[in-house]
Amino acid sequence: MNTKLTRITVALTALCGIAAVQAAGDEPIQPIKPPANINLGMAELGKKLYFDPRLSKSGFISCNSCHNLSMGGTDNLPTSIGDKWQQGPINAPTVLNSSLNVAQFWDGRAADLKEQAGGPIANPGEMAFSHTLAVGVLESIPGYVREFKQVFGKDKIDIEQVTAAIAEFEKTLVTPNSRFDQWLLGKKDALTKDELEGYKLFKDSGCVACHHGEAVGGTSFQKMGLVEPYKTTAAAQGRADVTKKDADRMMFKVPTLRNVELTYPYFHDGAYWTLKEAVDIMGRLQLGKKFSEQENAKIVAFLKTLTGDQPNFQLPILPPSSDQTPRPTPFGK
């Protein structure tokens, strides 16, 4: 083997890789990175908790009920179904790539995934339990007691451990390797002519002012209805529900556009079911622009290239309840 030639080949390969990364860095959207620095034991425990309906009063609702990992990390409903078939007040945002968000929930009331994980458990309109009762259920299950001690090194389970484990699992739910990411990283035949023209329209029209970065969104709060008011019957008022400031009315976290073809219906009220409608609404209300049918179709074609590799793992086998485990009350008062 020609050692000198091998060295030149390696050097050229490295330079090409650097050039591809630099080219990606010139774009307002960056490739999704695979998860890093994950505590595997904690994430595996969190996976079980994510799928375990025993954290709800009914014994029927789990995190995966509203953030279904077979459905783009959401439930494909305008608003989610809670305890006793209650209708939720807002569309369930996708859990995929949620670790890249500036904050959690549409109104940003949770600072991070750990804080978010505790919310639905104690929400009477969602899982309708309490943190104390949820911990009591887990402490009654020998398999969980052993695993919590193994992961956290403590004799007692608490809600901080529960939410930390769920958050650690959710950090693994990133979706790299979309066709658009492949294009960013140098595979120039990854996109069609219409998809590339759609991306150019997306940039030139100003969509990237809010939808940029790895998650193509999720990094800021913006007013829904900048140019024209957004008409909705939903009660949610965005950041104003948290800050109680009128200036924050209709200020919502910009949703990620990663996997957006999977996460219908769209917007905080789940009022629109197609990407064509969503692009039209956003163009008119946020940008003051009416896209032609052809322009709309090209932007939609681009958006579909943002679907990445979906989470792929073996479903966890949950530890069985014991004789002491409190029984669920799916129909009780």
Give Cα 300 to chain centroid, integer Å.
20
HEC profile of 261-287: HHCCCECCCCCECCHHHHHHHHHHHHH
Place of tokens 């079980």: 48
Specify which residues 104 forms β-bridges with. 110
| Residue in 193, 191, 165 with CA at minimum distance from that of residue 180 | 191
Rounded-to-integer distance, Cα 202 and Cα 74, Å: 25
- Please, what's the b/e burial string for 213-229 (b: 16 or more CB within 10 A of its CB; e: otherwise)? bbbbbbbbbbbbeeeee
Give 285-296 as a DSSP string. Answer: III-----HHHH
Specify which residues 238 forms β-bridges with. 251
Omega of the bond leading into 93 within 30 degrees of 0 (cis): no
Rounded-to-integer distance, Cα 181 and Cα 258, Å: 11
Residue 190, C-beta contacts closer than 8 angstroms, at least 6 positions apart: 179, 180, 182, 183, 305
Place of tokens 């943190």: 131
* 261: annotated active-site residue: no
How many other CB atoms sit within 10 Å of the CB of residue 6?
Answer: 10
Which is the catalytic residue, given 126, 168, 195, 214?
126
| Catalytically active residues, by annotation | 126
